[in-house]
């Protein structure tokens, strides 16, 4: 079966707070999905529901066609959550061994160390003595210990240094090649752009966009035009140009986010405005994200 995660009209209410509202989507085998959204959009709540750490107020969540807490489901998934909570009092090697013992076909110590960058020295250290970044490596190793089919990462690279971050994405890439299904949340849009096959964009507990990076960028079709304004050219004049959605000034350049760059260029030439150094580029995921989360495009 190719449907690995399904949300069917899922809502979650925390007392008065509506965290998710009528959310429906399906994640398929082998897909890498990035869940994006501003603070409080509902990303962690969605992941917690997938992991069976809480239940929906209404609607249904399934993993591999079963409820997340059904027998046999947990063995097939691994997770690295935002709160780095590892068991104090144990050495890293002991903790890894404990986790490996839960699974029928765990990854070897050597493989886990290669994948996560843990060193033989790290294995001898007590978990509570590790730095925040080192604890995240341990949590990464724990998520991979059972060689699961489905992996969840909630803001995985927060607190990782550059080397750790690079190794993390290399490992994710290797897992993608093996056909694993991966779900991660991030505030770093570049990560989502580079790694994900699919983006789910949350806003205030609802799904406002679902598609590939290319589709989401393309559906918005926002382009960026920038130029150095000559005297007399102001931001408010530029805001009147056709299809302009946003105007900013930065470092002596006026930067326009526009729906139709051809029409803007044509208008600039017709008006014979005194502008220099015109640059046109395709909108980035950041632009798409900003536009969507401001609600302008929907």
Ligand X SMILES: Nc1ncnc2c1ncn2[C@@H]1O[C@H](COP(=O)(O)OP(=O)(O)OP(=O)(O)O)[C@@H](O)[C@H]1O
Tell me which residues touch ligand X (CB under 6 A).
14, 17, 19, 37, 39-45
User: What is the closest distance, in whole angstroms, from the C-beta atom of residue 39 to ligand X in the complex?
Assistant: 3
Query: In what helix (H) or strand (E) does residue 123 lie, and over which residues does it extend?
Result: helix 120-123
Least distance (Å) between residue 185 CB and ligand X: 7
Nearer to ligand X, 41 or 264 (CB): 41
For the bound state, the minimum distance from the C-beta of residue 54 to ligand X, rounded and expressed in Å, comes to 9
Rounded least distance, CB 286 to ligand X, Å: 16
Of 74 and 203, CB closest to ligand X: 203
CA atoms of 273 and 93, how far apart (whole Å): 68
DSSP state, residue 67: -
Beta carbon nearer to ligand X, 83 or 250: 83
Q: Report the b/e string of 191-230 with b at 16+ CB within 10 A.
A: bbbebbebbbbbbbbbbbbeeebeebbeebebbbbbbebe
| Cβ-based nearer residue to ligand X, 37 or 283 | 37
Q: How far is the CB of 13 from ligand X (least distance, A)?
A: 9
Tell me 23's DSSP state.
E
How many Å apart are CA 119 and CA 134, to the nearest integer?
A: 11
Asked if 20 and 46 count as a contact pair (C-beta separation under 8 A), the reply is yes
User: Which lies closer to ligand X via its Cβ, residue 230 or residue 295?
Assistant: 295
Tell me how far, at minimum, the Cβ of 292 lies from ligand X, in Å. Answer: 15
DSSP class of residue 70 equals S
Sheet holding 244-250, edge to edge: 244-250, 253-258, 223-229, 275-282
Which strand (E) or helix (H) includes residue 24?
strand 17-28
């Amino acid at each position: 079966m190719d449907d690995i995660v399904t949300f069917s009209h899922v809502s979650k209410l925390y007392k008065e707070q509506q965290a998710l509202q009528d959310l429906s989507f399906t994640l398929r085998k082998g897909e890498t999905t990035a869940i994006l959204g501003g603070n409080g959009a509902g990303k962690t709540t969605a992941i917690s529901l997938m992991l069976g750490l809480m239940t929906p107020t209404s609607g249904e969540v399934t993993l591999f066609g079963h409820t997340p807490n059904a027998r046999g489901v947990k063995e097939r998934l691994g997770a690295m959550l935002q709160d780095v909570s590892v068991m104090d009092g144990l050495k890293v090697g002991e903790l890894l061994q404990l986790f490996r013992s839960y699974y029928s076909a765990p990854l070897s110590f050597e493989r886990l160390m290669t994948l996560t960058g843990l060193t033989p020295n790290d294995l001898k250290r007590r978990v509570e003595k590790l730095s925040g970044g080192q604890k995240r490596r341990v949590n990464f190793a724990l998520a991979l210990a059972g060689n699961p089919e489905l992996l969840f990462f909630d803001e995985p690279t927060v607190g990782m240094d550059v080397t750790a971050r690079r190794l993390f994405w290399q490992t994710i890439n290797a897992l993608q090649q093996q056909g694993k299904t991966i779900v991660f949340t991030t505030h770093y849009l570049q990560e989502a752009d580079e790694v994900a096959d699919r983006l789910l964009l949350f806003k205030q507990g609802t799904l406002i966009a679902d598609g590939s990076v290319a589709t989401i960028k393309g559906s918005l079709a926002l382009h960026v035009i920038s130029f150095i304004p000559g005297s007399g050219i102001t931001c408010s004049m530029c805001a009147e140009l056709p299809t302009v959605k946003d105007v900013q000034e930065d470092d002596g350049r006026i930067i326009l986010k526009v729906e139709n760059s051809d029409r803007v260029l044509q208008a600039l030439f017709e008006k014979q405005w005194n502008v220099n150094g015109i640059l046109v580029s395709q909108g980035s995921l950041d632009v798409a994200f900003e536009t969507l989360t401001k609600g302008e495009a929907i």
